[in-house]
Every structure is written in C-alpha cells, then in structure tokens.
Amino acid sequence: MKEILLVCVAGGVCALDATAAWQVMLSQPLVSASIAGLLTGVPVTGVAIGILLQLLWSGSIPVGARPMPDSPVASVSGVWFASALLKGGAGVPDSLAHLAGILAALAVALVGRETIMFERELNRRLFERFLRRVRAGELVGPGRVQFLGATLAFSRGFLLCLVATTVLAVLAGPAGRLVSSSAGGGAHALVLIGGLGAGVLFNTFVRKTRSRLLAFGGGVVFAVLLRSFPG
Amino acid sequence: MSEKRIGKTAVLGLLARSFYLQSAWNYETLQAPGFAYALFPVGRELSAGGDVPQQFAERHVTLFNTNPILASYVIGTVARMEEEVAAGRLTGDDVVAMKSALSVPLAAAGDRFFWATLRPFAGMVGVLVAGAAGSAGALVLLALYNIFHLYYRARGVVRGYALGAGIVSEILRLNLVSLSAQLGLMGAFVLGVLFVAAGLCWSGGTFGPGFAVFAATGVLVGVLPEGFQKRITEIALCVGGAGYVLTALGILG
C-alpha cells in the first residue's frame, strides 16, 4: 500500500511537471520511469521501460492545443505493473514483464490523454469565473486560479495512477499466469517496439535534409568502428 | 512625476512565477492565467493604493500564448513597459501591442528549439547513457535539457526587464533557428550511434536478423508520413499486444 501511494505521488508530481509547473522534464518517460523503478525496488526494469517509452514518445511535441499521450503517469504505472509481475511469484521472465509494463503504459497514456482535456476544460471554467469578477471591478488576483489549476494537475496524475494501479493489480495475476509457462521472453515484440521508437526519432532528426542523412550515416559508421575495436 | 521601479526582488518574483505560466492552461485563453499571475504583483507594486488597477488587470487577462520558456522575455519586457506606463511615457495599448508582437516569433523559435530539437536530443542522449549506466541516463537528460532551459528562462526575464521595448533587437540576435539546425545535425549523428547500439542490445550483440528487423522498422517508420508518427502510441499498443499474445501461445520467442 505504501509503495502504491509513493508511486501515485510520483505520478502526480510528474504530471504536474508536464505542463502545469516547472517543465524541468521530470515528466519525460526515461526520468519518470527511472523514479518509479527506484521507488518500487526494480531500478533496472524502470530504466528498461523508460528507454523504450522515451524512444516512442520523443516525437510528441506539446505545441498549441494538440493533446499528447499522458506519458509521465503512463511510465510510472507501467513500471509499477512490471514490478508487480516480477514480484508476483509466477516466474515471469524479465523481458516479458517489461513488455507487459510497456503495454500497460501505452493504454494508460491513451486514457490519460482524455483526462488532460477534461482538466483543461475545468481550468477554463475556473478562469472564466475569475474573469467575470475582474470585469465586474472586483480586486482579485489570479493566484487562487493558478493554485487550483496546479492542484488539479497533481490530483489528476495521482488519481489516474491510483486507478491504473488498482486495475493493473487485478490484471497482474492472469497476465502472469498467461505467460508463465511460455518458453519465449517477448524479445521480438520489444525489438519491434524499439524499432517503432527509433523510427519516430528518424522522422524527427534525419528525413528533413541531405546533410542530416549524412550525419546519421556518420553516426552509424562511428558506432560500428567503435564496436570493432577490441575491449 | 516620481518614478516607481519594481526592484530586484520583484524581478526574481517574475522569474519564479514564470515557472507556473501554464498552471491553469485552458483552451480558451491559453496561458493568460499564468501571465496574469506573473504580472499582477508588478501592478500592485506600481499602483499608489497597493491594488492592481482595473485597466492593468484587463490588459493581462486576455488570450496569451507563446513558448512557455521564452515567455520569460515577454514577462520581463512587459514588467518594464508597465513601469513606463505608470510614469506616463507609454500607454496601455503599447504594452498590449508589444505582447502580441513578441509572442508569435518567440513561439515559433522556442517551439522549434526546445520542443522539436532539444527535448528529443536530450532524450536520445539520455537513452544512450541509460543503456550503459542505468539511472544515470535520466540525470543526463535532466542536465542537458535544463542547462538551456534555465539559462533562457532567467535571461529572458532579466534582459526583458533591463531593455524593455528594446528587447526586439536582443530577440533578433537569439539565433535559436541556427542553434536548432546545429543541434539537429548533432542529433542525426547521435541517432546513428543509437541505431547501432540499441539494435545490437536488442539482438544479442550481433548484426543478425534481430538487428535487421530493428533497423528496417526504424527506417520504414521514419520515412512514413507524419500522420503515422502521431498514432505511434496506438500502433505500438497493437504491435506489443499481438507480441504478448503470440509469446503466450508459444508462437513467438
């Protein structure tokens, strides 16, 4: 219970960082998943899930009103689910637990996107009330609106994380049993998800100009040469 | 006429409040609540009675939108211009005009640099480090991003307040477009390294079929139209879900 509460607080703080406050990038999947990994006692799992989610969501740009997947809450919930599978005693291999965590994160991200839109609608109503008072000549400051907006962002992250972990706790048993007798480790699916993420970055950095394509080629050659050196 | 200045503490207050520009972000007035929150203490300090004047309040509760980091330039500039309005040298309309004139170019340059280039670049470097050194990757991501983020945020408020309406020439010299291009080129190089490192990591350290599948998927997805990238969460969910079920059935390794 204490672990779930800690994870939910982390989800709330990371959700707050995504738009409402600071924007120091605690909300990036690699960071929020690493934090969740440390909190749940599975740091390696946190980093492994964070790497794949970071690749997938690097291309999500918070420009204008475009809704984005709720990556911070999703990353935290996904790591919690993977840790629950690993600790569940069903003998789920690490890579399958990672895959299950990523799937959980992707599903939570899509649900979270809808709740972000709801949060923004509530913000609009709060500010509208404030505007009516200002236009009526009342001497009020926007501090209360801002505080409520930030509280709403934290609460949305916290509650979404709480709902997600509750639902995922129920699913952990069947999901573990489903794959516990499987000989495979889900490695092929992880490679494909990694490829999708690398594709997003390829689209962001490489496809635009010829010079970028050459730089990309340079990076590939550099890495291959580096690997060929002994040690 | 005696001139009122807001003082260094108030300028620091502007910087602190700029971190909450989007706390009540909404689809109708966008960043207006945060902008008003940052500026209202200035209005209070400049007014004789200690209350925010009605006209001041109405100037800063209207629609406002720009890049949240470079918004600090607008916040600093507007604070200085409000001092000029209080001294009678400028009008409220000048402030409103400057706000809208600055917000568009800052949004274009800032979104391109911070969101479309620096953030994915820092993420990519973080992923590379995380692959080798675990949680340190997250720290590298945070450090790399925030060096630029905190520098531009602080500089925006300080220079905006120092220069007032003269900030335009400073913004023209920001040169974020060229910085984005250079960082983009470096990003392409780092991505090349990441392609090889990640591909090898997920295929058991060899240039075998696993590596080929990873690289081919990456390039194929990369050259597909951008609509495909926007649906990457749904696509990954389908691919991963199918992989999980096929693994459970023993069809996939």
Q: Do A30 and B138 touch (CB under 8 A)?
A: yes
pLDDT of residue A227: 87
Cβ atoms of A68 and A120 within 8 Å: the answer is no
Cβ atoms of B24 and B58 within 8 Å: the answer is no
- Rg of the Cα atoms in chain A: 21
Which of the residues B15, B25, B31, B211 would you substitute to probe the A interface, choosing the one with the greatest number of A C-beta atoms within 10 Å? B25
The answer to whether position A196 is within a domain reads no
The answer to whether position A191 is within a domain reads no
Taking the Cβ of residue A120 and every Cβ of chain B, the question of whether any pair is shorter than 8 Å is answered with yes
- B23 vs A contacts (CB less than 8 Å): 20-21, 146-147, 149-150, 153
- A109 vs B contacts (CB less than 8 Å): 233
Q: What one-letter code names the amino acid at A161?
A: C
Scanning the structure block, which residue is given the tokens 């997947």?
A69
Which residue of chain A has the CA closest to B234?
A: A106
Taking the Cβ of residue A180 and every Cβ of chain B, the question of whether any pair is shorter than 8 Å is answered with no
Q: Which of A24, A31, A191 is nearest residue B213 as measured by Cβ atoms? A: A191
B43, B36, B89, B40: which is closest to B60 by C-alpha?
B36
**Domain extents in chain B:** 7-202, 203-253
Cβ atoms of B174 and B102 within 8 Å: the answer is no
- B146 vs A contacts (CB less than 8 Å): 24-25
Distance of CA B79 to the CA centre of its chain: 21
Pairwise CA distance, residues B45 & A223, whole Å: 58
What is the span of the domain harbouring residue A6? 2-186
Calculate the alpha carbon distances from B63 to A55, A195, B27, B34 in Å.
34, 41, 10, 11
For chain A, helix (H) and strand (E) counts, in that order, are 8, 0
Asked if the model's pLDDT at residue B111 lies above 60, the reply is yes
A80, A73, A69: which is closest to A157 by C-alpha?
A73
Calculate the alpha carbon distances from A150 to A12, A14, A55, A107, A122 in Å.
10, 12, 28, 24, 12
Pairwise CA distance, residues A126 & A120, whole Å: 10
Q: Do A141 and B127 touch (CB under 8 A)?
A: no
Q: Do B188 and A149 touch (CB under 8 A)?
A: no
Pairwise CA distance, residues A209 & B73, whole Å: 31
Pairwise CA distance, residues B214 & A193, whole Å: 9
Length of chain B counted residue by residue: 253
* Dihedrals phi, psi of A126, to nearest 5 degrees: -60, -45
Q: Render pLDDT for B49-102 as a digit per residue (tens, 0 to 9).
A: 778 889 999 999 999 999 999 999 999 999 999 999 999 999 999 999 999 999
Pairwise CA distance, residues A91 & A87, whole Å: 9
Q: Do A96 and B247 touch (CB under 8 A)?
A: yes
The number of distinct structural domains making up chain A is 1
Burial class (CB in 10 A: 0-12, 13-18, 19+), B207: middle
Taking the Cβ of residue A208 and every Cβ of chain B, the question of whether any pair is shorter than 8 Å is answered with yes
Complex ipTM value: 0.95
For residue B113, give the DSSP letter. I
pLDDT of residue A65: 64
The confidence band for B253, taking pLDDT boundaries of 50, 70 and 90, is low
The answer to whether position A197 is within a domain reads no
Asked if the model's pLDDT at residue B137 lies above 60, the reply is yes
pLDDT of residue A184: 63
Q: What is the mean pLDDT of each run of 10 residues along chain A (231 residues)?
A: 95 96 97 98 97 92 75 98 91 90 98 94 95 88 95 98 97 85 75 95 89 96 88 54
B197, B19, B65, B76: which is closest to A222 by C-alpha?
B197
Cβ atoms of B76 and B12 within 8 Å: the answer is no
Distance of CA B246 to the CA centre of its chain: 40
- Helix (H), strand (E) at residue B36: helix B32-46
Q: Render pLDDT for B152-205 as a digit per residue (tens, 0 to 9).
A: 999 999 999 999 999 999 999 988 999 999 999 999 999 999 999 999 988 888
- A131 vs B contacts (CB less than 8 Å): 29, 61
Which residue of chain A has the CA closest to B150?
A: A24
pLDDT of residue B85: 95
Q: Do A196 and B239 touch (CB under 8 A)?
A: yes
Cβ atoms of B202 and A191 within 8 Å: the answer is yes
Give the A window 21-80 contacts with B, CB below 8 Å. 21-26, 28, 30-31, 34-35, 37-38, 43-44, 46-47, 50-51, 54-59, 61-65, 69
Cβ atoms of A63 and B119 within 8 Å: the answer is no
Q: Do B236 and A193 touch (CB under 8 A)?
A: yes
The answer to whether position A209 is within a domain reads no
A122, A111, A117, A124: which is closest to A160 by C-alpha?
A111
Q: Do B184 and A208 touch (CB under 8 A)?
A: yes
Q: Do B138 and A55 touch (CB under 8 A)?
A: no
* Dihedrals phi, psi of B117, to nearest 5 degrees: -125, -60
Q: Do B196 and A182 touch (CB under 8 A)?
A: no
